[in-house]
Structure formats: C-alpha cells, structure tokens
Chain A
Amino acid sequence: MKRCCVDRLACIELPSLPLQLLLQDQPEWKGFPCAVVDQDKPNGELLWVNEKARRLGILPGMRYGSALGLSSELRAAEMPAHRIEDAVQKLVEALQKFSPYIEPCAEEPGVFWIDASGLLHLYESLDVWGSAVRKALSAIGYVSIMSVGFTRFGTYAIAKASRYKKEGAVVFADPSQELAATRRVPLLRIGLTPKTLTLLNKLAVRTVEDFLKLPAAGIKRRFGDHAHRLHQLGTGDLWAPLQPAPPPDPHERVLDLDDEEKDSEKLLFLVKRLLDPLLLRLLSKGQALLEVTCVFEQEHGETLTELIRPAEPTLDAAMLMGLVRLRLESMKVHPGVTRLVMKALGVRATVEQLRLFVEKPKRDLKAANRAIARVRAAFGNDVVVRARLENGHLPEARFSYEAMTEVPEAQPRVVPRRSLVRYFKPTPLLLPPRPAREPDGWLVRGISHGPVSRSVGPYVLSGGWWRKEVERDYYFVELKSGSLCWVYYDKRRRRWFMQGKVA
C-alpha cells in the first residue's frame, strides 16, 4: 500500500454519525432502541441503528415496519442531509484545531482523514494527540474511534474495525505493522455496499486479505467502480493525495483596542481601518462584498454582532461606510468596545459594462433596493417585510409577512373584486361590551362617530380545534357617522373586537 504524500496519516471515525445526531436531537430516546430511517414512512429503510436495537435483532437495511415487529419500543426518525452536512462542517472546524489538513470522506459521513505529520513536536506522542482530538470531540457530544498509521486505506480499515475504547488511538509504529493489521480486517467493515458484501460473502471472501487476492479487473466487472476503487486503494495501485477541506475564510480582520471605546464616531473610523484592507483583498480576488459582519466585543465578554448587507455586491467603501454609520447610530455601545472583528463575504463581481446596454426601467428598482438597504441598516434586517397571501380562513391567517431582501419587478394582476375591508387590524381592537339594552347605542369608535345604527351578519368562522379552537361571528356595522366597521364577537372569549374598517 502506498503512502498518501504525508508522513503520518490518521483516520477518525464517528460511528453512525447520523444516529449520534439523532440522539443529540432526541435525548429522551437514549434508553430505547433507535434508528435513523431514510423516510418517515412505515416502509422506510433503517440506515443506522443503535446497539440496543442491534441486540433486539434490528439491523440496518430492515424496513421500519418489520423492525417494529421485533420491538414495539423502537424509535426512529429521518436525519436530513443538510443536518449531516452541517455537522460534518462543524467537525472539520473542530478538527482543524489539531491539524490544518482535514479531509472529510465524501462517501461516508463521520469519517475524516487527518494529516498527523510533524505533530510529535507538539505532543508527547501520537497517542496523546489522538486522545486530545477524541476528547475535544467528546466535549461536543460525539463518540469517536481513531487510528494513526501511514496509508489512507490502512488507517480507514483499522478505524472502522477497531473496538471502541475510552481514550487514545490505535497507533502503528511502522507500515508493515499497519499492513498486517489491515489484512485481517473483516470485509464488512470497509464500506463496501451491502449488495457487494452479500455476494462476496457467498464467494467466501470475508477479509481484506481475501478481497485483495481477487483480480482487480474481475472486481471492476462484477462489483463496479466503488469496490474496484477500494481494491486499488488496498493494493496500493491507487494513490490519492489528501484533499483537505479549505481553511477558514481569510476575509477577516481583528482589531484589539487598548482602551474601551464607546464613541460611535470613533468606532466608525476604526471600522474603516478594517474595511478598506478587506475590500482591497476582495478586489484582488475579483470579488465584491456581499455582506459584512461586524462583531463588537465589549468588556465582560458581551458581544454585539451586526450584519450589514448592501443592496447589491459592491466595493464602494463610501456607500458601505454610510450603511455602517446608520447601524452604529441606532446601537447602544455600553460598556465600551474592546475588540472589533470584521468578516467579509465576497462573491464574484459582475461585469459593470453590461449594464450600459440594458434599457432603463420606469421604476428604478436599484434606487428602491438602495433605500431599503438603508432602512435595514438603520433599523435592523427584519424591519422590511412584505405581505404574502396564505390559504387560511381567519382574516389574520389569510396573509403573512416575509422578509423582503430586494424589490421584485412589479407584476400587477386584475383583481375581480376589491375587498370591502381596506384597513385591517392584525391585532384586533377590544371593543366595549355590547349592552343588552342600548339606550345610548353601542359605541365602537367613540362618541365622535356615534353609536351603531345598523349591522349585517353574522358570518361565522370557526375551526382550529386541533390547536386552539376559534369561533367568531363577524358583522359589518354602520355607525351613525356613516363609517363602516368590521367587528366580530369571539364566542370563546365572550368579547367584541374590531377587525377592520371599510373605506
């Protein structure tokens, strides 16, 4: 087996990572047999199962429905791919504290190769280093197994085949030792597909050694590329360099202040000191700034994090500083800032010249977007919203607000009949009780509008019994002043409310 261009290579495995994530999400399931399923259906396939489930005969590959026949206590849920990806990303970041070069396995979530070269200068031994890595992972809630050797395939196979122990790693002193151990590894540990494994088992090929004796071309023809690749890796015919995950984004600048700074004007200048080199760096990469995160670390460890997003990717420092100024003006910086961190996110810049040929629309969307960006900068990112129609019965359930990041092209459509109600109160206004006898009338908008002179209704809306039952009788009421109101009687709360007004 050939080495992987590094002197020392380690492989760390987090057994059944998706299941570990599931148990982090559902800690109350810990005492039960648990499984991750590919879909939330009775015929969903079990992908990973815990030890308790295994002891009950519940194995990966079974259908959830069949597995339930073995234990009615089985708990199962899906683990979305994005959740696994996020976890892998976080694990890479955690591992990067122990080595700059980390390669997550593309085919198996929870397997990582780490360049362990030169670490003996920092750690007493590789075993100690391994313990430190595993301890760090354990601190963030993961169980792991680690092997340190010389080859990608060897470390992987050993990590997969090793039994869990509390501390340390399996460390090989020389390549021959690793090779001998690798050959003894049962085949079912090395990530072959279940179909391939079944067939090889039928052929009485059960260890890595047996597998490596088979002809490579025969493997490729019968079992496909994946098995062939593993075979080649095992025999050393395939050499693959370590492909580490990129290090953290470098578009970051930090400024430590000797004295705390409370003055926003001074802070603005400090921001400028950091922003300019960030913009230069983006420019050198052919990028423009998409957003910038300003972290103001205060005394006593408190931090204020502000995300500034221009209307479009830009390198215009003046415009950006304008947005930062607006945000700083609305901030209360107390106690003072002791450390300032700025992280820029860039995107590839567009070709400005192309815009010259675009016909200018009547509505200046760019100007609108710039204005919105300023509003966002001044009042926060969630303040600019727009209404979206929803499919509910209750007036407040017929629309919702969503954040608006940019103004879209207007696409007006014909409304067959305009709604009678022009002023809608999302939070209905509590009205005085309607007197049983109304000598002076029912005043819903104060004395100035006079009492209710006429009402039309009721129009009944009820439902939501599965959550919180609602029962409302709606009326249109006409006041003596001639104005029309939309009111309802909430039967559950026994109160009258005003929901809106008619124009």
Chain B
Amino acid sequence: MYAPLWCKTNYSFLEGASHPEELVEEAHRLGLRSLAITDRDGLYGIVRAHVKAKELGIHLIIGAEVSVGEPINPKTQKETPCTKVILLAQNRAGYSELCKLLTVGRRRSHKGVSRVLWPEVCAHSEGVIALWVGEGDAKRSAGLPEMKAVFGDRLYAMLPRHLLAEEQDREAHVRAHAAMHRVPLVACNEVLYHTRARRPLQDVLTCIRHGTTLSTAGRVLRGNSEYDLKNPHLVNALFRDDEAALARTLEIAERCTFSMDEIRYRYPSERLPDGKTTTEWLRDLTMDGARKRYGGEIPDDTLAQLNKELDLIEYLDYGGYFLTMWDIVQTCHAKNILCQGRGSAANSAVCFCLGITAVDPVRMGLLFERFLSKERAEPPDIDLDIEHDRREEVIQHMYTKYGRNHAAMVANVIRYRSRSAIRDVGKALGLRETDLDRVTKLLSHYHDDDVAGVLEQSGMDVKASVYSQLSDLSTEILDFPRHLSIHPGGFLLGHEPVSTLVPIENATMENRTVIQWDKDDVEALGLFKVDLLGLGALSHLHRCFDLLSKHRGVELSSATVPDGDTKTYDMICRGDTVGVFQIESRAQMAMLPRLLPRTYYDIVIQVSIVRPGPITGGMVHPYLRRRSGEEEVDYPHECLIPVLKKTLGIPLFQEQVMKLAVVAADYTPGEADQLRRDMAAWRRSGRMEGHRERLIARMKAKGIAEEFAERVFKQICGFGEYGFPESHAASFALISYVGSYLKCHYPEVFTCGLLNSLPMGFYAASTLVEDAKRHRVEVRPIDIAMSEWDCTLEGRAIRMGARYVKGLQDIEWKRVADARSASRFVSVEDITIRAGINERSLVALAESGAFAPLQPSRRNALWESKGLAASPAVPMPVETESVPAFQLMSDAESIHWDYQRTGHSTHGHPLGPLRAQLRRQNLPDAKTLYGLRDGQYVHYAGLVICRQRPGTASGVTFMTLEDETGFVNVVLWKDTFEKNSIIAKTQSFLGVSGKLQVQDGVIHLVADKLWRPDTQLTPTIQSRDFH
C-alpha cells in the first residue's frame, strides 16, 4: 500500500489531464486510503476533490506544487527558470500558511504564473510538510539546507520513478544530497492522469500550454505514459529496492490530518454603534426601514414576518451578512447610485425594509423559505443590481472598506466548450487554423455538439486519423478548465484574511484580485458571497430622473412613480415598449397585446412567461387561453391548488416548479434543493435523468396525468438555463413598470436617457430615434455648435450627442468643447487651429454632418478636413487651394452618411426617400400591413434591424424589419432559412414574400421567399443579431 503524494488535476491548467473527481474515484477503485492533490501553484480543484473524497470516504491530503525561483519582471513578463517543491498541509495552520504562500507568489506575478523564494517557503513552514524535488544542477541542493533548518522532520526528499533513463542520475543526486543533509527519502511519482488512456490528452494540453504542435513539441512532452495513478502492486514492484521510501508515503499521509471540513468561516463583523450586538443593530435598522416603507405603522402581518425572519437570521448567525448588504446599499445611496436587489432576496421582508430590495414580499405573497431556511442552513445569496457604469465605484469601496486581505472577487473558471476545444486541439495537431475555424462556425454557441458529425459536415474526412483524433480529443477535453476569469460581481468577504482560506491572485483587470475558487466551490463550502452586478436599466432610470428634475422640475424616483397608471398600461398593452427593460424584445412585444397586462403582477408574469422554461414546457399558450377565458382553469390535482393558483393552474416560476416537486412528487426540501442545483447544470451533468423517473413516477402515483408530469419535467430542464424565480421577475418587473411610465409620459426624457446609456437592451440607436420620432419627439442632429458629448434636451427636443460619432474619442471632443467655450467657431479651419484635434476626429465630425453650421456641403467639409488635417501643425492659416466642385448630396445620400458615421439619422429613415419607388412596385409600408387581413399573401421590403434564432424555437429564425412607419416581425421556418441562407444572413435591405398572420392585433409575416429589392440605392443598417 502507498499514498500518492504528487497528483495534479486538470486545475493545474493545461497540464493535468483528469478531473479532480476522476482522480479521487480512481484512487478509491484502486483501494488507496489517501490521496494528495497538489495542483501547480494553486488550490483550484481542491473543493471538488474534497466533495468527492468525502462522498467516497477517501482521506484527501491538501497540497500544492509550488514554483520557486526569481520573481518575474512584470514589464517583460518573461518566464524565469524555477524549481518545484511539494507542500502538504498537515493541519489548519499549515493550510493557512500554504494559502498565504501561494498568494504571495501569485500576487507578485502576472496572470497564470507564480514564483516564490526559498526564504518565503521557509517563512510559511508552520504545519506544512515539504517534499523536495531536487531538480536542476546536480552539484547544488537548491533550498535543501535552508528548508532542513526550518522544516526539520517535516522535510522529505522525493524519489520519482517514471522509468526514464535520465531519472537515474537525478535519483543519485537526490540520494546524495538527502544523505548529506539527513533528509529521509520518500517514493513519489508525479501523477497527471487517472488512467493511461489520458496520455494523448495530456500531450495535447502540454502543446496548448506551450503554444506548439505535437510534431514540433519534442521533449516538452513527457517521454512515456508512466504518469498515471498506479496500482499499489505496480508501485511496490517499482520501489522494491527501497521499501522504506514507499512506506514513508503512508507515514506522511498519517501526519496530514487536515480536512477542508475544518474551515470555520466567520463573516466580517460590521462596526456596531452603542455597544449593540449584530442582531440588535439589524433589528433596529429593519424596524426603522419598515416604518419608513409603511408610512410609520408596520402592518401586523409584515411585523410577524419580520420577527420570524429576524429570529431565523439570529439563529443562523447571518446578521453580519445583512448588515454588509445594508451598508453597500447605504453607500450607493450616499454616492447617488441606483441599486436594487434581485433574485431570491426579494422574498425577504428584512431585505425589503433594509432597502436592499424594492418588492414587498408580504404584499406579493412571496416565500421567505426560498431565500433562507433553517433546514438548508445555507448562506443567503443576495444579488445586488447596480447602475452598470458605476459598479466599479462600489467594488473599489468594498476593497477600501475591507482591505485586499479580507475581500476578493470570486473566480469564474473558463472551461472548454466545443468551439474552443476544436480550435486548441486542432492547433496542437497541426491543422490549419482557417480549416478549424470553418468547423467551429458550424458548432452551436451554447451547446456541445457532436464533434464528429460537425467535422463530417464541414467536408473533412473523419476517417483520416488526424480528424478522428481531433474528434476524440475535442470531446474528451470538453469541460476541462482552460483558465481563470473573474466572476461578474461575486465578492468573498472574511473576518480572517481571505488569503488564509484560499489563495488570492491578480485578475487581468487592473486593481482586481480574485480567489482561486468559483461560486460553486464557495457555495459547497458554505461561504458567504456578495454579488454586485451591473444593470444598464438602472443607469437609464437614473439618467431619466436627473433629466426630469433638470428640465421639467419633476422630482421622481422608482419609489414615487405613480402605481397603476392607466395610460402606461394602455401603452404596454399595445406592445409599444421599444426600449423598456425586459418587455422590449420582439417576442415580448408580440405577447403584450395577447396577455394585456393591467397590473404590476401581470408584468411579473409577462417578464417570466417569455422565457425558455415556460416556452419549452409548453406553458405559454395554455396560460394565455385561461387568462382570456377561452379555457377553463383546472388543476391536475387538488394538492396543487395552493401552488398554482396565482398562475391559473400553470407553473410559470421556478419556485412553483420546486414547490410542485415537493407537493406532487413528495420531494423533501433537501431533494428539491438538489433538484434546483441539478437544473442549473443539467446539460453538462446529465443528472436530471434521475429526477425525471422519480418525478414522473411519483406524480403518476398521486394521480397526476403523465402528460402534465412530462410537461413539468421539460419545463424544469428549461428553467435550468434561463428560468426566472418569481421574486426575481418581481424585481425586474418593477424596473419595467417605471421605464414604461417614463416612456409613456416623458418620451423625450426616456429616449434621451436611453441613448446616453447604450449599449444596453435590444435596439440600436437608430431604432430608438425612429421610435421617438414616431412618438412626436423632435430629434435634432449632432451639431458642432450645440451638441454635448451626451445627448441633451433642448426643451422637448432631443439634441444628439457627439458620443454617436463613430471614430471620435471623448478626449478629442473635450478639446472641441473647451475651445468652443472660449468663443464660437467660425470655420472648419478655426476648429482645427483652436481645438487641435486629430485627422480621424476631424473627418468623423465632417462626415457626421456636425460641421453643417460652418460648411453646408458635407463633401466640401470632408475635403477641407482631410486637407487641414494633413497641414503642418502650425497655428496659422494654411495656403488657399481651389475647392473642387463636388456633386450635391441627395436626401438618401445624407441619410446614408448619417447611418455610416453615427448609426442613426435625424433627417429621416433610409427608406423614406425610396418610398415612392417602392410604392410603384406595390410594396406596402409596415403601417399598411397592419391593415391587411390574416392569411393574405404579401410582398414587403424593409431594413433588418434584428435577427434572432433562439435555441427554443427548433431552428426558426425571427427577424424584425423596419421602415419609416414601424416594424414588421418576420418568421422564417428552418427550410425557408436554409434555402435563402445567404440573403437572410447578409442582406440589410430585404424583400420578403409570405403569408400574414394576424392575431390579437399582432402581425407576423411568415416568409415564403426572400429577395433583394430593386431600388436605385441600397440602404444599409447595422442589425443586432442574437442567438
């Protein structure tokens, strides 16, 4: 028997070729009692290994292979040579020291690399066992004497035997130095994979890591396949001549008693006033908040709920976490940053009263248990949405308040998906990158397709060995970690320095540090995570409120927007919601006239219903029929009435699905929670099949129809990817309603705020401008004399801002604005001399038409700008030259130039000047189409503003076409799309022939044929395409 002490998982990025779970499982199969995971300069895979080891009863030793050498110059980032030492945590103190040492190495190096010095290794020796590798110069014993002095009997010299000839010399060298310093020897092979079958993958990973190909890698690759997790009998034979060295592996395993279960996490305590306890302070703040929320008097049911929640928070000792969230919200308020909690936190009345969330869960009847329960005893998860362009301020506040030692961002492990797998494996195999790109283009964005099938489809000979290797290895590498990225907003906070819990390293982004675990690891260990997410819609609302205050003198906020406004709901029911958060998409706008929302809760449903969960589960149409009274509301079983009553017997929310599993399929709350986790990863893990049998069988046993049970299961799978919990939808619906109210009553403010918040949402600036014009808002062009960087309001008109001039940087515009503030410009030349902007900016402004007050002809302005920009930078008039007589510009050309340079036009829609021509060809505009009857065969031409091919639509492609009068939704069935794929993908100005589908005032044009319209000019527009 032995204990492998040097095992690297695939979290030794691009080196180890087995998942941590696979190594643990194999160790268990081989009958090994202990196993050390020692990833390169990190503890990335340790939590996964720990969870699996706990499940199988294996003793997991926590350690790392640490790179020791001179620090890397941050400027050159050139890797320096290093040697290795294996460090194993004996106890909790040793684990902390290991984390701290890894943090030191990582923090001083650029991303992906780590270096520590021998004195630093020695300084972090408490509770650590060191295994000396003995690499490098045979005459030197790098680090051994220093380590012997500090580690004493916790130092061993390693004897790796991979049956390589060169190991003979190394072993002799190690034995000699070990004898000289009286260091015991230990048998220790490097393990890179759990089975030899992974050898090819390990070679490929090595090539990817070193940016080389298999045929040129040479000795960068390992010389043989002896790096697997070996059977004890084989290892016994291998070290037959030195059984003592082998026996020492077990001795070391016995000495390492630390387990990840020993990690006791303490949340950082907030500063408490007047000697109050955390609980008292939280209770005070909650009650104060409640009194403000309810106008002085707290309703009884709310008070009861608050007491219940506060008791549970105290029992679970989570008060500090709520105080942190409260503090962040207060910071946002102090900095005038809009923020709002989303997700399950909206189920909590305490969160509502603390101002973390904006939805009253008591009034909404939301379930607190979904957020926090004694039974689950899991840390609460509060996601806070913050204005997207000011989120960094809040992140830096967190670092400042808690310090880099106590706060770090959670990692996001980037894994191989089929596209990246084919690219990297193919490069390692030496295939042409252009060929690989052709293959990857055929792969789905989100799902891991059948690689062999795609290779065949792309015209490659899958029988040729290189392509079959590509197919096999690309499949094998799927889900392997590739590199570490940063979670969008997850923070780990700790009372003790975070670097004693987990190593911290630098992120690519400046001023960011990131821990080596992702959110699943953090969750598995029951640690607290604070999620700070950016949301463009909040930035938009903030801008609108500021504009309202400045230009209309109206002080409004999300909380003070009048509730139940009839005009707003009328507008929503018409589907007139371009630019409104969550209900602006083609599908949402088509659904609104059918669902006809008249209350806030209707918007909650609207937000949730156009989601893959309900769509793939076939829940949408039954719900709409029941809502309109076309179908009777009934329940598959009477036990489900309390669960489904709010949604007319149809499950639409994630909570309902979970509750359904508990009530109808007798899931315990623990099982239901497991269901939620498995839902989130169902495509990858395949763990949902077990639930399927259990759910359907138990529901059938209860007398629920199999068809309903199947539908529920389908919906669960859909929810896994993009399902909304009710609380989450409630938070978003609030923003949707406020946005709708602003659009309805203050359209110029709404559009101006939105134009200044782009990029966000579904539509490009051109569509928003056209929509504003249709709502009788005057939109004025960019003007060198009048415009600011952002769009501004001039009375009730919008003046477009210079931010829309493509190729103009804000720093260049600032020069223009500064020069303009001194005195107005008199000529293009004057701008050049006084503002001193570069050629690119000058040309961009000329082409955008911003020089119109100074030079009415854009062509002349362009000629002039190019000439001025090329003149020497001397502030004196340039020599005069004759200006050629350029052709005058037509309206259509002006609009075309606008679109090319600013992405929109205030002069008109590109189809406006072509309308007469189109009319002569009997092509109606969008407005006319709305007057035609259902089933009529029509021909229509418009500009494609959006293409969408949702995964839920079985290959159906949706397009939104626009003309000067409005939108037309086009549906392309799969075969129509395939037949017309080139024109469908490339044509901006598109002709469509097909049948009209009119239902509840919503029209769809079901395409039969696509064609290129025959006009003198071909307008173009940038379409926004989604998958």
Contact = CB atoms under 8 A, between A and B. Distances in A.
B434 A77 contact: yes
B164 interface: yes
Interface in B192-228: 199-200, 203, 214-215, 218-221, 223-226
B429 interface: yes
B996 to A, nearest CB: 29
B178 interface: no
A218 B881 contact: yes
B882 A215 contact: yes
Interface stretch (A66-74, A91-99, A272-280, A356-364): A66-74
Contacts of A202: 847, 859, 862, 897
A42 interface: yes
A460 B226 contact: yes
Interface string A62-86: 0011001111111111000000000
Contacts of A213: 884
Nearest to B439: A72
Contacts, number: 118
Interface residues of B, number: 50
Contacts of A391: 218-220
B743 to A, nearest CB: 35
A222 B437 contact: no
Of the candidates B203, B862, B863, B897, the one having the most CB atoms from chain A within 10 angstroms of its own CB is B863
A359 B429 CA distance: 52
Nearest to B465: A466
A217 interface: yes
Contact of A72 (B434, B441, B867, B986): B441
Interface in B426-456: 429, 432-434, 436-438, 441-442
Contacts of A460: 163-164, 223-226
Contact of B438 (A57, A68, A459): A68
Contact of A41 (B214, B218, B433, B466): B433
Nearest to B163: A460
A42 B437 contact: yes
A51 interface: no
Contacts of A65: 437, 441
B438 A74 contact: yes
Contacts of A416: 138
A391 B215 CA distance: 11
A463 B203 contact: yes
A76 B886 contact: no
A240 interface: no
B870 A221 contact: yes
Nearest to A213: B884
A238 interface: no
5 contacts: A41-B434, A74-B438, A417-B169, A460-B223, A461-B224
B437 A68 contact: yes
Given A217-B881, A393-B219, A417-B169, A466 B469 contact: yes
Of the candidates B221, B226, B457, B897, the one having the most CB atoms from chain A within 10 angstroms of its own CB is B221
B887 interface: yes
A263 B576 CA distance: 101
Contacts of B214: 466
Contact of A466 (B163, B220, B224, B429): B429
Contacts of B986: 57, 70
B215 A44 contact: no
A72 B776 CA distance: 45
B434 A199 contact: no
Given A37-B434, A68-B441, A204 B221 contact: no
A284 to B, nearest CB: 49
B866 interface: yes
B458 interface: yes
A461 B165 CA distance: 9
Given A68-B438, A391-B218, A466-B200, A215 B881 contact: yes
A237 interface: no
B884 A215 contact: yes
A355 interface: no
A27 interface: no
A113 B200 CA distance: 56
A71 B429 contact: no
B459 interface: yes
A171 B862 CA distance: 39
Contacts of A75: 434, 438
B397 interface: no
A40 B982 contact: no
B1005 to A, nearest CB: 23
A462 interface: yes
Given A393-B218, A393-B219, A393-B221, A69 B459 contact: no
Given A202-B859, A467-B215, 11 more contacts: A64-B434, A65-B437, A70-B986, A73-B438, A204-B886, A204-B887, A218-B881, A392-B219, A393-B221, A465-B203, A466-B465
